[in-house]
Amino acid sequence: MKIGFIGLGIMGKPMAKNLLKAGYELNVYDVNKTAVAEVVASGAKEASSSREAASHVDVVITMLPNSPHVKEVVLGAGGVVEGIAAGTILVDMSSIAPLVSKEVSAELEKLGVVMLDAPVSGGEPKAIEGTLAIMVGGPADAFAKVESLLGVLGASVTHVGDIGSGNMAKLANQIMVASNIAGMSEALVLASKAGVDPSVVYQAVRAGLAGSTVLDAKAPMVLAGNFKPGFRIELHIKDLQNALDTAEQLEVPTPMSTAIIGMMRELQQDGKGGDDHGGLIQYYEKVSHITARAK
């Protein structure tokens, strides 16, 4: 199977490399030529544009920052629509607004192209490991054709429903992750302020009901003061804004997400938007005038 892969950022680059390791043939494109060169060195072929990357392939995968980027790369001048052939499947693995997935899918359908929205969760570490959680929306028959391909990238690949439902599941995921990180941050800063070692508190609660994948992934990092991004605060802001926009359209209250995105935006204004989203603890540390670190 030949794949056109567009978007070689913090997530896309290791994903493309894993597909190459699994024996897939890749045509890759990104505006970052350093990233392209690295993936080409691993065995991919370089395309000169999104249009060229989408030409003469069986599947096109896009992994881009946000809704406007997907619309531009797929539907814009020199984009996927100018090169893709009828019968090709486009798998958009970006995390974008569900309504945009539906809009792009409708345009591709006019060309005889089926689209799946397949956002991922797990951050850079799981992208490197090939153990992402992948949530897929779109026709079941198209999903069946690419399920084994997606299995190279993820430990969990779930068909959620119609087009847009993959991104709806991702928005739900991002609300839960943000809430987990905020709760962890609040608790560890509270413990520190009370004079209790936050690393001991983490060990005490992790085997109980408060234990979670988020806690085990983020607590050791923040307790060490390590905010190297696996998933950046600025990207989580983007996802939460998509969630808030969708919730507004559906008339669903979002008090937690609204509060957390406010904290993240304050950190972004402080120049910390590029930090890992576990760096949300820095908001609590700032307002509490204490640093929660392992003693």
The catalytic residue positions are 170
**3 state SS of 86:** coil
| Helix intervals (H) in the chain | 12-21, 33-41, 50-53, 67-75, 98-109, 123-129, 140-153, 165-193, 198-205, 213-223, 233-250, 255-269, 281-288
Contact by Cβ (8 Å): 121, 177: yes
CA dihedral sign of residues 193, 216, 236, 234? positive
- Spatial CA neighbour of 175 closest among 251, 69, 253, 230: 253
- Spatial CA neighbour of 73 closest among 33, 108, 124, 23: 108
C-alpha distances in angstroms, 1 versus 22, 36, 77, 82, 90? 11, 20, 26, 21, 13
Rg of the chain, C-alpha, whole Å: 20
Provide the terminal-to-terminal Cα distance of the chain, rounded to the nearest Å: 52
* Residue 209, token pair as written in the block: 């009901």
**3 state SS of 61:** strand
**3 state SS of 168:** helix
- Spatial CA neighbour of 64 closest among 120, 19, 17: 120
Placement of tokens 């850079």 in the chain: 124
Phi-psi region of 180 (alpha: psi -120 to 50; beta: other; left: phi over 0): alpha
State CA 212 to chain mean position distance.
19
